[in-house]
Amino acid sequence: MPNSLSSTPTAKHSNGSGSEYQIEMRDVVKTFRTAAGPFTALKSVNLRVNKGEFVAVIGKSGSGKSTLLNMLTGIDRPTAGEVYVGDTAVHKLSEGRLAKWRGKQMGIVFQFFQLLPTLTLVENVMLPMDLCGAYSVRERKKRALGLLDLVEMGDQANRLPSAVSGGQQQRVAIARALANDPPILVADEPTGNLDSKTAKSVFDLFEVLGASGKTIVMVTHDAEMAKRVDRAVIVSDGEVIDEYLARTFPALTEEQLVEATRSIQPQRHEPGAIILKEGLPADKFFIVTRGQAEVVLQGPDGSDIVVARMNPGQYFGEIELRHGGTNIATVRAALHEGLDVVALEREMFDRLIAESPATREAIDRVVEERLEEHEAAEQRRPPADQEATP
């Protein structure tokens, strides 16, 4: 059987004039002018987030995480590239349209809460509704109280922010972010200013919201919490490391992963399309990122025998690259759905294997297991002169 790694939700594909993803960044560059000269915080970043995903953005301090979030929310604009939320080209919106759009589409939670100190908690939650004209005047307070109940702060509604703890203020900030029922929540280190127990309770609340269908993009420095989300996006020195490479090659350094990410080739294949053909030379390593791949041997009557299936996060092509020769089986996109993969050329694959003994050992263990499975499948394949059973 193929190696098993955590899968991610099925992705959709952009249509060229907008996006069918909930969020999509295309070749985004952000350069700031500083006294020391230009500083590029984001370097040709590509990112796709599906509806209902809970995504953690992780990386070292100064890696570009917060800048990436500012691109998504329209708080800042890219120097180059495109940012889409659904079919909205966020990078093209005027300041006036951007503020109105953001008020309805994005709920933003900051590390330091940013509640207005002279307003009560319920008034803080009502404020986005007042600014966007959402809901009737009579409905706003009722909705705000309901949201405070959701975050377990209903009994504190008439207090000022200074009268409650930091964790309670963050809960109110989350309620405020939900005021206009946005489809997307964006949070920049929302637990970074809280003690571990309070941080866990706030993160638990985000999990509940994610389970309810909200799309959540959260910058976090907490590696343990990052393990609990649907997937993690790693930012390193302004570049996004491909998550599938990071999962497949966990022993590689960030520098190696960044270099490999630059060289990968995303491919889309229609249902039933052949990616590898049995008997032909092998020159690439493939990781499944969407859909399902089928490993196929040919029966004596010419029919296809599916001997294994691979899901997102699983890979193929490593046997031939490690042992040489031609493909030992055909790999195709499943007949019922299309397939997305990222492909790594033999030269880069060989370099990664050579530079990381731990990676080489892990891949070779999988190779040996798959060769045994392939041999067993070959033994089960009927002889060519055997008549096919009707």
Tens of pLDDT, residue by residue over 95-127, are: 889 988 988 899 999 888 889 999 999 999 999
Does any domain span residue 210? Answer: yes
Query: pLDDT tens for residues 112-167?
Result: 888 999 999 999 999 999 988 888 988 999 999 999 999 999 999 999 999 999 99
224 & 281 share domain = no
Q: Is the distance from CB of 179 to CB of 170 less than 8 angstroms?
A: no
Half-sphere exposure for 277 (CA within 13 Å, toward CB): 4
166 & 307 share domain = no
The confidence score (pLDDT) of residue 319 equals: 92
Q: What is the DSSP string of 155-212?
A: GGTTS-GGGS-HHHHHHHHHHHHTTT--SEEEEESTTTTS-HHHHHHHHHHHHHHHHT
187 & 313 share domain = no
- Taking the C-alpha atoms of residue 30 and residue 77, their distance in angstroms, rounded to an integer, is 8
The domain that holds 268 is classified in CATH as 2.60.120.10
- Taking the C-alpha atoms of residue 80 and residue 44, their distance in angstroms, rounded to an integer, is 8
Number of domains in the chain: 2
Q: Which of 208, 241, 274 is the last residue of a domain?
A: 241
88 & 187 share domain = yes
189 & 40 share domain = yes
Query: pLDDT tens for residues 350-387?
Result: 999 999 999 999 999 999 998 888 888 777 766 655 54
**Can you give the pLDDT of all 390 residues of the chain as single tens digits?**
333 333 333 334 444 455 668 999 999 999 999 999 999 999 999 888 989 999 999 988 889 999 999 999 999 999 999 999 988 999 999 988 998 898 889 999 988 888 999 999 999 999 999 988 888 988 999 999 999 999 999 999 999 999 999 999 999 999 999 999 999 999 998 888 888 888 888 889 889 989 999 999 999 888 788 888 888 889 999 999 988 888 889 899 988 999 999 888 889 999 999 999 989 998 999 999 889 999 998 777 777 888 899 999 999 999 999 988 889 889 999 999 889 999 999 999 999 999 999 999 999 999 999 888 888 877 776 665 554 444
Q: What is the DSSP string of 271-314?
A: TT-EEE-TTSB--EEEEEEES-EEEEEE-TTS-EEEEEEE-TT-
Does any domain span residue 128? Answer: yes
The confidence score (pLDDT) of residue 370 equals: 87
**CA triple 47-52-56, angle to 5 deg:** 50
182 & 54 share domain = yes
Residue 197 sits in which domain range?
Answer: 23-241
Does any domain span residue 173? Answer: yes
- Taking the C-alpha atoms of residue 8 and residue 4, their distance in angstroms, rounded to an integer, is 12
- Taking the C-alpha atoms of residue 332 and residue 330, their distance in angstroms, rounded to an integer, is 7
Residue written as token pair 């350094």: 253
185 & 48 share domain = yes
The domain that holds 187 is classified in CATH as 3.40.50.300
The confidence score (pLDDT) of residue 242 equals: 87
Q: Is the distance from CB of 333 to CB of 271 less than 8 angstroms?
A: yes
Does any domain span residue 312? Answer: yes
**CA triple 220-103-212, angle to 5 deg:** 55
78 & 212 share domain = yes
Instruction: Please give the radius of gyration of the chain, using alpha carbons only, rounded to the nearest integer.
Output: 25
Q: Which of 210, 241, 272 is the last residue of a domain?
A: 241
62 & 184 share domain = yes
Q: What is the DSSP string of 204-237?
A: HHHHHHHHTT-EEEEE---HHHHTTSSEEEEEET
Does any domain span residue 151? Answer: yes
235 & 264 share domain = no
Does any domain span residue 231? Answer: yes
Q: Which of 241, 276, 291 is the last residue of a domain?
A: 241
282 & 360 share domain = yes
81 & 194 share domain = yes
Identity at 365, one-letter amino acid code: R
- For the chain, the straight-line distance linking the first and the last C-alpha, in angstroms and rounded, comes to 28
The confidence score (pLDDT) of residue 307 equals: 87
